[in-house]
Chain A
């Protein structure tokens, strides 16, 4: 293995990429516009949730409740009749329907403990669950404030001071911007190396290389370092300019440490890209195969939904995927400011997985070029 060959071939890859405007646009798009827009466009968990209210009481307290629901969490409540409630929920027009019974205020003041009914369309998972909590606390708040004017001397306050660490306002765009970087890194590392390899074969240049004094290891290593470097630079730029700059996300930890982790991750993922290219012989097969591999990797890595709530077997299987470790590492460094002392197990895992993938891809690649 000659380092100079690896360098020469890698430089050739970079030159080739620089002459492919479509690919450059794709990379720039994926690391800037795409991250920015989808971080901005994502609604909060509860955004303009559709709420209908059946007011059978028409009392001051019921009016208080109705006027308490406002954007951005809720849309202005629709006043409907009891008969329409189910039809509207069936049609998916509302997610919540609050029913204030007749004589609510009278019973309340008389201490008869009346009941307000809240119907929730539980097929709208995240909104249904978070939203019903909000509806309850808003309603309770309004009712107790109303009551406190009539009664004095509330019960002993045992206060719960809830604070969210690392992202005090639970700002979703912070989370999704980092996730978008992770998924762009994942997708491009596979596409760039895999498509570069398939293009070489479709153009017959790979054969050409192999009749020269160049070994398969050198060819593979050159693709890995050059394409990995492109993605690494792009993610650094995205992190500093888009995430820190435009989106004003506070990054808690060390960016160089994150990039070091990303480099190890890229080593593993570009090897995977080479592997997929050797399996899918043509560009369309590679494209379809990539989607089939990429989607599960992304969904189960823990980036979009927490790992704890997945079945244990899936959690264990996913420990073999580089994504899982990179997601843990990225979130620990960028959000929680974790240092080397905390994330070393992930770094070790990425190195191990990367070596195995590289070895396996090299074996496939040798057969592929035969």
Chain B
């Protein structure tokens, strides 16, 4: 009963209420004082070009972004209130902008939906039922095992919808769900939404879209521009108010006067007759394969000079690949591409000079100003130096860039940037322009201006234009168009004829018909019937409803393990990361074990013997007999000594003075000279120690020979015992100490990247809008890396014991327990670093900086902590690596166990909650 009244109340009240909401990114104002009520239980459209604040508005409503000023009420509560967000986020579903932005590309279709089911606490049985029903209704059932990254754009969006619908939301927020999706998939997508709405009429849906023809079907529209709300109302309301017959025109009419002033309808004059003999672009049975994937399949077309040729199709259908072949960026696997009758040859610079190419993304140098960009390209195209200035001026005037001449591209609006791209592509007055989606993300007015320029180029200058687009009204402006699907050209003709033939005069309908036909031909059985009953979205029973709320508030192991499982799957499928973690650390251990070698052996030495007596030769023999030194050819003169030491050949030179033997025999004062190469001070110190020791031994021997044995045993003796490492081998000391360093750096970097990657790629949004808490998120992500690090630990230890033959003398359980604590700490350090950094490269550098230096310099690896001074000493006392090195050396070499190592264990135990607590505090649950 309670449920029903709740629903009724929702229907009468607005689902979303905004009051004076503003949002700024730095100095850019994304939303400016928006006040608005959004009615519930219907589909509401948010229309307007890119960059006007649609996405910002939706992310505020979804609770993914922090509110700066104003009030946002969603489902009857204030979204600034964390408790309300926690209560309502299980009732909201949010699909962010970008194809598959909230999906995990390496996970399969099933695993993706399953992850969301786990986040909402569904048990296994319930999850499987729901997933099966959702996948069946969206037609994804045949692809359950396919990785999400390999789905087509339309399928990705359907999968995104499944993930959003798994928990029966009351409010569904879709941010441009159909951008970049072919018309057929778009149509299917909306049919799906219709069916779901039929089954659950109380659900409200808010959709942002750039396609006005879609928006015409929604119940209620809000038009936005430049952070402001222009108008709201039903589509017919808006048309009536502006006195227009389509929403594109209505939108332009709604814009403020100053933006509209320069706008004119694009009129493209018809092409003159008799030009068709001169073929500019030609493709004959063009095929491009990547491995066993055919991106372009037997494509042929002929484009005469001066024609505007449109290329339509969904993302990934082969448009961009075809364009790259035409520009010589990609070689064709079969068939040929011709420009002006010559086959495209990447090495032929003269053809390149006749082509202008504008790639999909803005691809000019953002670090150069508008003028510098133009000048650089003019020079690269070898325009004569004296004409460059004039040409740049012409382009700036023609493309209306005068006001921005010294600005950096990043500071310019998208429309202006696209004009700059076009100006750069035109700088060398090419005969052919190849434009890859030049208008995506550009507002209608700027789009019209761009088309006017294209029209002039084609009709006045005879430039051939090859352009790809998603927009039907742009396709209608082309002289001829080709529709591409899955690498094949389906139809190629004038827009009018295509529309008349299959679509009753409507181009979009014609395309849908062609697409449907192509799909039926290829894969008839797998095509879903979109009319299927949407059983998964049936009204939830009280029990089901309840199940979503069974979860504990602040910490629920199920949500944590949802992240653990997902992270583990991703790790498993990223060969580079996994390889690096396992093989990489073994390689590094090998290298460091050998590299940090302080054993000094086989040093080169030579003697300058002025005496040449038995005694002097005996002295030299004493040195060459030791394993530390290798004797080289005798030194002949001081010059020889100098030259050989300078070249680095000799580490030690001994000079025995004339009359050495005589003086020794007489017992008079005599001095032996020894020169050590001091360029490497620590090696020199070791050499000094060796030489001194050998000198002393020689003296003792001499004394013994002179006065009989026994007498010269010395006044006293020092007995030196090298403990733990009796042979004083570097490897015994270094190998155990290298383990802590490797177990710090690599797990920390991997853990840090795991969070920062989500931030950079956008899937962090799932953390923002689902009920998972910060601690669950961090711990869940940490577990797989701890497991991986422990595997690494066992491998490294085995490597030290069996390959380096370092004896292990202490308690292995104590060593393992210490390692376990330590890798929890090292991964927690990575998570802590990731909580405040946003780019992957910054995370790598910061982690390397914050781990490498303290671990190698202040943790007792070479110099013991007690010998450090100042800041280094402070770091050394608290840094976990120092404590774990004590545990490692204690258990490895000193034969110790738990009892002897309680102090470092205690230090490690205290560190764990400190790091995790800080990480949890610093991590943000919303974007800001």
Contact = CB atoms under 8 A, between A and B. Distances in A.
Given A117-B719, A130-B685, A309-B601, A15 B368 contact: yes
A346 to B, nearest CB: 10
A168 B584 CA distance: 41
A335 B741 CA distance: 32
Interface residues of B, number: 135
B681 A171 contact: yes
A130 B689 contact: yes
A210 B726 CA distance: 63
B719 A170 contact: no
B327 A211 contact: yes
B724 A121 contact: yes
B903 A163 contact: no
Contacts of A284: 753, 757, 840-841, 844
Interface in A172-212: 172, 174-175, 195, 203-205, 207-212
A216 B594 CA distance: 39
A116 B679 contact: no
A22 B678 CA distance: 38
A291 B848 CA distance: 9
Interface string B154-193: 0000000000000000000000000000000000000000
Interface residues of A, number: 124
Interface in B499-522: none
Contacts of B675: 163-165
A166 B361 CA distance: 58
A129 B598 contact: yes
Interface string B709-749: 00001111111111111101010111011000000000001
Interface string B899-915: 01001000000000000
A91 B670 CA distance: 47
Given A90-B900, A118-B720, A211-B328, A162 B591 contact: no
A115 B717 contact: yes
B695 A121 contact: no
A133 B719 contact: no
Given A92-B890, A305-B595, A207 B681 contact: no
A121 B648 contact: no
Interface stretch (B80-88, B789-797, B859-867): B859-867
Contact of A212 (B352, B367, B592): B352
Contact of B672 (A49, A158, A211): A158
Contact of B594 (A4, A310, A335): A310
B662 to A, nearest CB: 13
Contact of B329 (A47, A130, A211): A211
Contacts of A147: 715
Given A15-B367, A133-B693, A170-B678, A95 B864 contact: yes
Contacts of B559: none
Max chain A Cβ within 10 angstroms of own Cβ: one of B672, B713, B870 = B672
A205 B409 CA distance: 13
Given A212-B381, A284-B840, A136 B718 contact: yes
A160 B672 contact: yes
A136 to B, nearest CB: 5
A75 B866 contact: yes
B372 A15 contact: yes
Interface stretch (A106-114, A228-236, A268-276, A352-360): A106-114
Interface string B412-433: 0000000000000000000000
Interface stretch (A137-145, A238-246, A254-262): A137-145
Nearest to B810: A90
B550 interface: no
Contacts of B408: 19
Given A92-B890, A295-B588, A164 B676 contact: yes
A125 B716 contact: no
A161 B672 contact: yes
Contacts of B691: 160, 162
Contacts of B714: 113
A292 B886 contact: no
A60 interface: no
A156 B724 contact: no
A20 B689 contact: no
Contacts of B862: 125-126
B598 A125 contact: yes
Given A122-B725, A125-B862, A211-B328, A159 B670 contact: yes
Contacts of A214: 380
B689 A195 contact: no
B713 A116 contact: no
A176 B866 CA distance: 21
A87 B870 CA distance: 27
B672 A127 contact: no
B668 to A, nearest CB: 7
A48 B867 contact: yes
Contacts of A331: 648, 679-680
B645 A165 contact: yes
Contacts of B749: 288
Contacts of A89: 723, 894
Interface in B878-912: 886, 889-890, 893-894, 896, 900, 903
B869 interface: yes
B735 to A, nearest CB: 11
B927 interface: no
Contacts of A165: 645, 675-678
A153 B568 CA distance: 79
B669 A157 contact: yes
A170 B737 CA distance: 27
A247 interface: no
A118 B719 contact: yes
Contacts of B366: 203
Contact of A300 (B591, B643, B678): B591
Given A90-B900, A118-B719, A167-B679, A123 B724 contact: yes
Interface in B324-343: 324, 327-331
A102 interface: no
Contact of B713 (A38, A49, A113, A170): A113
Given A92-B886, A165-B645, A300 B669 contact: no
Q: Which of A2, A75, A161 has the most CB of B within 10 A?
A: A161
B6 interface: no
B107 to A, nearest CB: 19
A186 B840 CA distance: 22
B592 A213 contact: no
B129 interface: no
B600 interface: yes
Contacts of A161: 671-674
Contacts of A128: 722, 728
B576 interface: yes
A362 B527 CA distance: 47
A159 B890 contact: no
A157 to B, nearest CB: 6
B367 A20 contact: yes
Interface of A: 2, 4-5, 8-9, 12, 15-16, 19-20, 26, 38, 41-43, 45-50, 75, 87, 89-93, 95, 104, 107-108, 111, 113-130, 132-133, 135-137, 139-140, 143-144, 147, 155-168, 170-172, 174-175, 195, 203-205, 207-215, 280, 283-285, 287-289, 291-292, 295-296, 299-300, 304-306, 308-311, 314, 328, 331-332, 335-338, 342, 369-370
In the complex, the 3 A-B pairs of residues with the closest C-beta atoms, listed nearest first: A299-B595, A164-B678, A167-B678
29 contacts: A43-B863, A48-B869, A93-B866, A108-B715, A113-B713, A116-B717, A119-B721, A121-B723, A121-B724, A122-B732, A123-B724, A136-B718, A160-B692, A162-B676, A163-B674, A163-B676, A203-B366, A207-B363, A211-B329, A211-B357, A280-B576, A283-B840, A284-B844, A288-B844, A299-B592, A299-B595, A305-B596, A305-B597, A309-B598
Given A126-B598, A175-B680, 16 more contacts: A8-B376, A8-B379, A9-B380, A15-B367, A92-B890, A113-B714, A122-B724, A162-B676, A164-B684, A175-B681, A204-B359, A284-B841, A295-B588, A295-B591, A305-B598, A336-B647
